[in-house]
Structures are given as C-alpha cells and as structure tokens.
Copies of this chain bind each other. A is one copy, B any other.
Amino acid sequence: MTNTASIIGGGVIGGGWAARFALNGWNVRIFDPDPEAERKIGAVMDNARRALPMLVDVAMPAEGTVTFCETLEAAAEGAALIVEAVPERTEIKHKVYAQIEAVNTEGIIASSTSGIMPTELQSQMVHPARLIVAHPFNPVYLLPLVELVAGAQTDATMIERAKEIYAGIGMYPLHCRVEIEGFLSDRLQEALWREALWLLHDDVATAEEIDAAIAYGPGLRWAQMGTMQTFHLAGGEGGMRSMLAMFGPCLKWPWTKLMDVPDLTDDFVNKVGDQCDRQARDLVPRDLERIRDNNLIGIIRSLKQGEWGAGAVARAHERQLRPEPVAAAPMITQSRVVPVDWTDMNGHMNEGRYGQIFSDAAETIMAAVGADDDYVASGLSYFTVETTIKYLKETHAGERVQVRTIVTEGVRKKLRCLHEMVRASDGEVLATCDQFMLHVSLETRRTCEPGPEVAARVAALAAAHEGLSQ
C-alpha cells in the first residue's frame, strides 16, 4: 500500500518535503492558501526531480501522486504523516493542529519548526501524544539531516516510528534527546550567523568575504566532521585535550562579539575529551586524519566539476602546473597520481577510471593538434567512436602513473590513438587503449572534415609516430 503524506504549507520547506516524499514513492497531498503555491512548489519539485535521483546509483521508486487540495481538511484526512510547514508563529500552528485533529486522529503530526519547543506546540491539542518536531534543512530533497524532538506529552513510540519513516526516505534522523529552543543545529548555525551579521554590520567584511572565510576553509571540514571531531584532529597527537590546552585561553580573548564561555575546569575538559574519544570509537587520530583527508580530496575534487569554491582554486592551481605538451614520440599525455576517488574500497583503481585517464590523454592529443577549447567553441570536435582497453596490471591510490600515446592513424575525419598507461616508478605497462575518434560538427552532431590546420597537425603527428606501434 502506498503511504500518504500531507503537507500543510508550501514554501521552500513544504515544497522540499513534498518532493522528497513523492520521489520516494509516497503519495502527497498539499494545502497552502497562497494562490502562487502550486507554481512555487512546482519549481522546487522540478529541482528535486532533477537532483535527488542523481544521489543514488540505482533507480528510484515510481513517483507518488502530488495533489493540491482546496482545503486543509482535504489534505490532512487519512494521511499517515501530516507535515506542518507554516510560518513560525505559535498561534497559527495551534490553529492548524486543531484543523488537522478535526479530520485525522491517527497520523503523526510533524512540525518543521526551526526552533519552537514541541511542548509548546502540542499544548492545546486533543491528542498531543502524536505531535513531534521533524526539522529539516534546505534543500530538503538533498540534505539528509532531520532533527526529531519530542514534547513533554509526546508518546515515545512516535519518535521510533518517525525514525523509520525518515530513514526510509533517505534521511538521517537525529533524535535531540533534550528539548531546548532552537534544538541543536540551529543553535550552532545561529551563533555563527549572529557573528556574521555583526561583522557585516560593523563593516569589517562584506557578505562575500564572510562567506569565503567559511567555504574555502572550515566549511570543507564541516561537510564531513563537525566542530568537535575537527578540533579533536587539530589537536594533533593529543587530540581534543591538547586543543583545549592550546586554544582554551583564546576562548577568553575578545575573538567573538559574544564572549560567555564555559569555564574550562579539569572536569569539563575531561568530559569533552572523553566524549571525543568515544565518538572516535576505535579510530585513533592518525586513522581519522586519513579519513578526513580522503573526504576532503573527494569534496574538493567534486567541486572542480563546476569550478566552484575550493574546486575553482584547485583548477586554477592545475592550470599553473600543467606542462606544455612535448612533441616526443610517444607523447606523454598524462602524468599524475591515482586519486582516492578513483579507487574501490580496496584502494584499486576502478575499471571505469581506466577509460577516464585514456579519455584525458586523448584530450591532450586534441590540444596538441589544435582541437583545443577555442576549436570546440567554434563548433568542431572529435568524438570517440570505439575503445578497446586491455587491463594488464592493477594499480592503487597514490601511485604515480603516466600515459604515453602514439597516433596510429590521422587521415581526414579519422584520428586513432594507442595509449599505454605505465607506472612512473618502473615503466611497467598497466593497461593499453586503442581509441578510435571521428571528427564531428557540434552543430549537426555528424562527422565532417577537420579544419586545414588541425588536419595538417594530425597528419604530421601520425607521420612522426609511424612505425612506433610495433
């Protein structure tokens, strides 16, 4: 049986919930009095339909139905879960819960509030036991975190049911065990935001500079480890205890606008240190450093794709480092180490990445014959038609490899290369690739003759490499 989720309130958050549930196969009924709601939610749904299925390497379930209802009652009736995502005003929320309770006595009522305590939210309900907070993060369809909070009158089994529901739609339910305003995540986010607003207010820095101070540094760490584990590692071999000994005094200096900080008594330092050790489980700082580095490499490399933030910096560095291709025979078309995101769990370079390094090698050849970025921008390029790869030896993350390339055919539309990937340390051949390309018009997407200069350079390269392939 298909589950039904009801979404009351269709802003950025309500729309995100609608998308995450529907794309995970739930039927969704939405109520929002805003006449623009359908258009706004439609825009969020479009983003989500494009983005969420890309996260996983399998097919998503068939999308559930998405229905816009005329009344709150029609949306809420019979739903297993009613998501409340209306403005952060307690009196509005109380009214919404009363309307829900009039037609639905069974479903979990989950408020998306960013920080109002569930005890306050449920205070006027007839059946308060089924109210929980389930606080998500924008974009709701991509970010896994959802904070679950029970109020004083919430039935404990509701949190367990909710955990199952949210895990089932690909989320990470974090049970905030102690009820507190702002829960956990928003307290941390707001502390940072307040400081950011002061910096901007006092003309210390612009919005862009304040953001750069996060996104090129600490933010990259926070995508994979929180502030506690990050500082546990910054303490070096002594972990968090060293960190508190080194920087504890600074916490008393005027380094933030707001200064109150817990006293770093021995008891408190031990409490923090013990919890950081417990969090690390059997991983010593050296293990965690390796994990952190692997994660950072993957994150920064992923940002190279769109040349954004730290990825743009890495690309710029790469351009500085890229050598001019040398017209040797064979030509050295790739020289690099195998990065950790090219490998499987055992550290072996994945089969698929052999195709990638040979494709990168072909780009070096293209650049060398003048079929470079400008040429591609002019509407002409080479497309690969067929490749045959022979896998001879394994290779591992961190190993330095080179690709040597011979142009074996370069007549008219045809460009054929024989690539050899070798281990840099001893020249052992790890794999070969016979790659056949045809020259194409990017406009018609059909083959055509290359420009005269490219044709001449391809022919010259083929002539220079003649006889090398045996």
Contact = CB atoms under 8 A, between A and B. Distances in A.
A212 B138 CA distance: 16
Contact of A387 (B51, B203, B223, B389): B389
Interface in A87-138: 87-88, 114-115, 137-138
A279 interface: yes
B260 A196 contact: no
Contacts of A145: 212-213, 216-218
B258 A194 contact: yes
Contact of A292 (B139, B171, B255): B139
A142 B255 contact: no
Interface in A313-355: 313-314, 316-318, 320-323, 335-341, 350-355
A154 interface: no
A339 B188 contact: no
A227 interface: yes
B220 A223 contact: yes
A413 interface: no
Contact of A261 (B194, B208, B301): B194
A68 interface: no
A278 interface: yes
A352 B352 contact: yes
Interface string A208-226: 1111111111111111111
Contacts of A276: 207
B55 A236 contact: no
A158 interface: no
B314 A254 contact: no
A419 B352 CA distance: 14
Interface in A178-201: 178, 180-201
B216 A317 contact: no
A3 interface: no
B219 A226 contact: yes
A54 B360 CA distance: 15
Given A226-B219, A255-B186, A317 B56 contact: yes
A113 B200 CA distance: 23
A173 to B, nearest CB: 10
A226 B200 CA distance: 13
A272 B219 CA distance: 21
Contacts of A192: 188-189, 191-192, 227
A50 B398 contact: yes
A333 to B, nearest CB: 11
A221 B385 CA distance: 39
Interface of A is mostly: helix
A36 B223 CA distance: 32
Interface stretch (A58-66, A76-84, A447-455): A58-66
B139 A289 contact: yes
A378 to B, nearest CB: 14
A429 interface: no
A348 to B, nearest CB: 10
A390 B386 contact: yes
Interface stretch (A242-250, A404-412, A462-470): A242-250
A182 B139 CA distance: 31
B184 A205 contact: yes
B216 A222 contact: no
Given A172-B310, A174-B213, A208-B278, A57 B360 contact: yes
A115 B388 CA distance: 57
Nearest to A12: B236
The 6 closest A-B pairs by CB, nearest first: A211-B226, A352-B356, A182-B255, A355-B355, A145-B217, A298-B302
6 contacts: A55-B339, A139-B289, A176-B205, A182-B250, A223-B299, A299-B303
Given A56-B336, A219-B221, A219-B224, 17 more contacts: A47-B289, A47-B290, A47-B293, A142-B293, A172-B310, A186-B255, A187-B195, A194-B261, A197-B261, A207-B275, A210-B228, A213-B226, A215-B223, A219-B223, A258-B258, A351-B355, A387-B391
